[in-house]
Amino acid sequence: MNDAASVQYGSETAAMQQYLREGEARAFALGNRGPVRYGPDGKLHKDILDSYWRCGFYVFEGVLPQTELDDIEAGVKDIMDRLPSERGSPVDKHGRPALAHDCKAPVLFWSKPLADPFGGTDLANGRHPVKMFEPTAAADAPQEVVYLMLGTLQFSDALLRTYGHPDVLRIAASINGDDFVPFTDALFIKEPGKGASVAWHQDGVTHWNAPDWDEGSHGFNMMAQLYGCTAANGVWVVPGSHKRGRADIKAQVAAAGSERLPDAVPIICAPGDIAVTNRQALHGSFANTSKDWRVTVNMGFHRRKSVLGVSGGGLHAAPAVYDAAHIAERSRLIGYAIDARRQRYPNEAPYVYKPFAEAGITHRWDDAARATMHDYNLLDMSI
């Protein structure tokens, strides 16, 4: 992707630059980053798990090699090329049927450049109560950009193959148990000089007041970085906030005097790093006025016990009670991803997903399977 000239953060430029510098220093002092390491039980090394549970996020360095990043980049560029020419258009800029033109499930989220479409609104159950500062975009910026896409695995085999990466799935099993289940998957696109803010929020909805609530009840998101991410364009997290229940975001912003929360730190990644972020952690990201692209391949996972028999939905898909059949149907994506990856990387040991192995279920990734992927994210398990 091409770099664009950076635009300024308006009246907040100086304060923002200082915040980014100080946040970056705090982030590197946390001790929650390094290569993937496993213990004798095949699960993530205990030091990594302890660090993840202490901070609410962890950066796995160097998981995806350049060859795989090239594959992902080609997939993302193809997706971007097929986007509707403008919001609501049935065709792309080449006049072809646009990506997702025939999808019922939510796929494309648009924003004015550098704006904050959710902050301070009732959207998504009002979980983003405070609007972020909205810098002014360049005069020649488009009216709107797509900054978030859901259900992306139906549009790109490259993204599906990454979803089946053995480390991605081993990390999921280490944190959520061998019977972990999918939640949703997404692409966050933060274009330089255009990428929208995602206002401070916590992701969980259903379990905050459950008697067995704990620091892992609402699962986690994995954020694989195509180009890396910086303090300026990355997600910020308040370390430890995933343990403290619901945050009073309005009060925290009022106390700070701006949305620059003093305890928050940025997730800093190189290309190919994968960050894991607890969905209960207070997190958000600022408008991308930097010159750097961020493309995050976001893959969410839950504990099975957090979704089985639970009534969820409303944010990523229609409300539903998630019974065993629903979970099995949505989990097919894991089976397809593992097989898609096996076909591309025949010398790599494929991940064995225990629920399928125990039930003797196998999946084959081919055109027939591809045809069943349309609108698969109607089954996203949003808790």
Ligand X SMILES: O=C(O)CCC(=O)C(=O)O
Among 221, 225, 230, 252, binds ligand X (CB under 6 A): 221
227 binds ligand X (CB under 6 A): no
Among 69, 198, 310, 333, binds ligand X (CB under 6 A): 198
Q: Cα(321)–Cα(184) distance, rounded to whole angstroms? A: 16
Degrees, nearest 5: CA angle 314-178-215: 55
Between 198 and 231, name the residue whose CB sits nearer to ligand X. 198
Q: What are phi and psi of 10, to 5 degrees?
A: 55, -140
285 binds ligand X (CB under 6 A): yes
Residue nearest ligand X, CB atom distance: 285
Between 195 and 355, name the residue whose CB sits nearer to ligand X. 195
Between 82 and 294, name the residue whose CB sits nearer to ligand X. 294
* Per-residue x/- track, 138-177, ligand X (CB under 6 A): ----------------------------------------
Number of other CB atoms surrounding residue 35 within 10 Å: 12
236 binds ligand X (CB under 6 A): no
Among 180, 188, 220, 227, binds ligand X (CB under 6 A): 188
235 binds ligand X (CB under 6 A): yes
Between 156 and 221, name the residue whose CB sits nearer to ligand X. 221
Q: Helix, strand or coil for residue 113?
A: coil
Tokens representing 33 are 């980053």
**88 Rama sector, left if φ>0, alpha if ψ -120 to 50, beta otherwise:** left
Between 85 and 121, name the residue whose CB sits nearer to ligand X. 121
CB of 134 to ligand X, least distance (A): 15
For residues 323 and 309, the answer to whether their CB atoms sit within 8 Å is: yes
Q: Helix, strand or coil for residue 260?
A: coil
280 binds ligand X (CB under 6 A): no
Between 93 and 246, name the residue whose CB sits nearer to ligand X. 246
DSSP 193-221: TTPPPEEEE----S-TT-TT--TTTT-EE
- For ligand X, the binding residues in 26-85 under the rule CB under 6 A are none
Between 32 and 225, name the residue whose CB sits nearer to ligand X. 225
Between 154 and 221, name the residue whose CB sits nearer to ligand X. 221
Amino acid at 157: D
Q: Could you tell me which of 205, 276, 217 has the C-alpha nearest to residue 243?
A: 217
Q: 154 burial class (0-12, 13-18, 19+ CB within 10 angstroms)?
A: buried
Among 116, 157, 185, 203, binds ligand X (CB under 6 A): 203
Q: Cα(250)–Cα(247) distance, rounded to whole angstroms? A: 9
- For ligand X, the binding residues in 292-321 under the rule CB under 6 A are 296, 298
For residues 266 and 23, the answer to whether their CB atoms sit within 8 Å is: yes
Which residues make up the interface to ligand X (CB under 6 A)? 188, 198, 203, 221, 235, 283, 285, 296, 298
